[in-house]
Structure 1
């Protein structure tokens, strides 16, 4: 963060009802404040004329001696509605798909990747990405797909990257295409191998990923450990009932001595087609109370991280690949033309039935990709509104304002 004069945060938002307003930050979990429109308008009218918190409080007290300004300004700074620092748009992590092809056909895939998928990211462009990452001191690059090991030039790519890039290289894989002749190349060119399993035993993995995957993954892990390759992760997406067996998955990871990674299901691609009823059940069973609601409805992807798809389009993160329009093209990134282009906006501000609702930021998921899946479906939107709106109104608007 860079020091700056006090200002309204770029992620600060308001919700209005008559003469009251709720202020918060849509990328933070720090709560919200309800105050009068008069107080907020006065703060915003004076903030451009001062440099510091102390100056702002002094000016406000001089105009209206209400005895509230010191605490109110501190509270607005705490929830990051007001800020005296500037966001540092330094990319520290890049994830990119080197292919859209995959040898498996997993039910929960947020893409529609198959062996017949068309896209490979051009090898020379991949080299340019690593050059850019090294030049810009990017700490971490993650290679994904599709299935990265479906490419015959995968180790040519990894060897080039390891020779010119000094940050960490992680590869996400299903591990089923890794052969005995590949282990030395993995040890020499990859810092972290992240293997997708999505189950906790042979039966649960068969259900989602297919026959033979569980045995193959365990064999790869054991053989890599024999080579003293220890930076191994094993991941599971919560889907098809395995969310009730997280403890079993963690036990498996502990037994294998690998780092566990648990991911939420993204309702896009095959996952959207295969899991819509599950999504409806999730909404139906959700329970809202004051302890678990907040204004956070976007994440911070795009500020310090970005995702490059196999076709050279750039998004804040990989889960947003299903957007019709990308945020920028790879050529723009490589020419260093990417400042402030990856801001995420709350989807509810663009949904006709939601954009004037005075609790709209409170009913969103914190993951923009999940919100895309929810709010593009009119039936789901109505379910969310019918279930949550009155509860949210009672919690949020029935408190006294400042």
Structure 2
């Protein structure tokens, strides 16, 4: 019996919090209870001899805690560390110029060739990757998009597409429905006005038409995502109603001040951010976003380099799409001799990109040092990094730390 790999243990005010950073599960124990459990796990003697020193009620209590720790995978955790899904930006080019686009930082990279992408698909399929998400830029701008799709479809169990939907039409809707298991469409608003304020004229109508075409072609797994900005922040209810009307799954995402998002953060982000800091708590139900509230079930986790990686349009490995920045750039997948051994032996740990990524994780980041609630304040380390990089973190932290300390240790 042993603690999970990289377990986080923090103590404050007579309590100890244990957290598995790989699945987000956590538990709070009294210091007295934790000491018993810790001694039990670390004892060199037989566990049965250790537990028998206590009276019956204490044994039952400690064994109950141990069962909970196992259920939450805080002890005896089997981290397979298998790469199961990969996001691939097959292009950095796009037919839109959305105000908030973070991926615009990759526009310099252009497009890999058809044969290069086929080689990437071959490499990933040979090591057992099950799911591929094709993204961009806008994937449909590529002239070889249909060829690449057919090539990937033959090699992976699940094929996903992220698109702005403006190039979906009567000629390709059936092809997309036949070849993709699910399609995610970006809208970034809740009606024509808010969508087009960010994405451009006539985009909303094109999305509406694309969804109807996909539905008619038999595609029933469509999600619609919206990045929350100052323009659309008051429309969460309308966003859910719109998705209900379309029969799509709503996904809300946080704003990332990167690329054109950084250029336009005064307009798209700052006003909303200041309102939130001044007490306007935004709680987006039915989504992964939990702005300003303590996540009920999970702490900060990140599956980058464990079960998921992002391959940029430069064919280099990045932790995720939110961190496709030069400082997190890893090796070019086509220049790795044996990708299976590379992943199994964690060869990526030798890259500066990986080490820069690890340095922003909350248990290592200097801006989280000494904090007793660092693992609860945000479920995505990328946003904490970006807030710090662009000067928002101090205000963000100040507004939440006291509240979280009361919720966790009060």
Pairs within 5 Å for 1:120-199: 120-162=111-153, 164-199=154-189
Q: CA deviation at 1:294?
A: 7.3
Match of 2:104 in 1: 112
Where structure 2 has 5 or more consecutive residues not aligned to the other structure, the ranges are 282-290
Determine which of 217, 220, 237 is the counterpart of 2:227: 237
TM-score using structure 2 length: 0.78
- After TM superposition, give the deviation of residue 147 of structure 1 in Å: 0.8
2:42 is the counterpart of 1:45: yes
1:347 aligns with 2:361: yes
- Give the structure-1-normalised TM-score: 0.80
Q: Distance in 2 between matches of 1:289 and 1:250?
A: 20
How far does residue 18 in structure 1 lie from its aligned partner after superposition?
9.6
RMSD: 3.5
1:236/1:356 CA distance change after superposition, 3 Å:
closer
1:39 Cα shift? Answer: 4.2
Corresponding residue of 2:303: 300
Are the aligned partners of 1:290 and 1:395 in contact in 2 as well (CA < 8 Å)?
Answer: no
| Contact 2:18–2:27 (Cα < 8 Å) also in 1 | no
In structure 1, distance between residues paired with 2:292 and 2:361:
23
Aligned equivalent of 2:399: 387
Identify which of 73, 76, 81 aligns with 2:69: 76
Alignment gaps of 5+ in structure 1:
1-5
SS at match of 1:193: strand
- Cα deviation, 1:312-361, whole Å, max 9, x if unaligned, reads 22234322223612355424496211135589756333443531333333
Q: Aligned with 1:134: secondary structure?
A: helix
Residue of structure 2 in register with 1:103 after alignment: 95
Secondary structure, counterpart of 1:349 in structure 2:
coil
Conserved? CA contact 2:83–2:306, under 8 Å: yes
Tell me how many residue pairs correspond in the alignment: 381
- Distance across 2 between alignment mates of 1:256 and 1:240: 24
Task: Report the counterpart of residue 287 of structure 2 in structure 1.
Answer: none
Residue 317 of structure 2 aligns to a residue whose secondary structure is strand
Q: Distance in 2 between matches of 1:126 and 1:91?
A: 18
Distance 1:334 1:381 in 2: 40
Deviation at 1:103, TM superposition (A): 1.8
Q: Deviations over 1:253-273 (max 9, x none)?
A: 333333433333334333344
What's 2:19 paired with? 24
Partner of 2:273: 279
* C-alpha distance in 2 between matches for 1:160 and 1:381: 44
Structure in which a larger fraction of residues adopt strand: 1
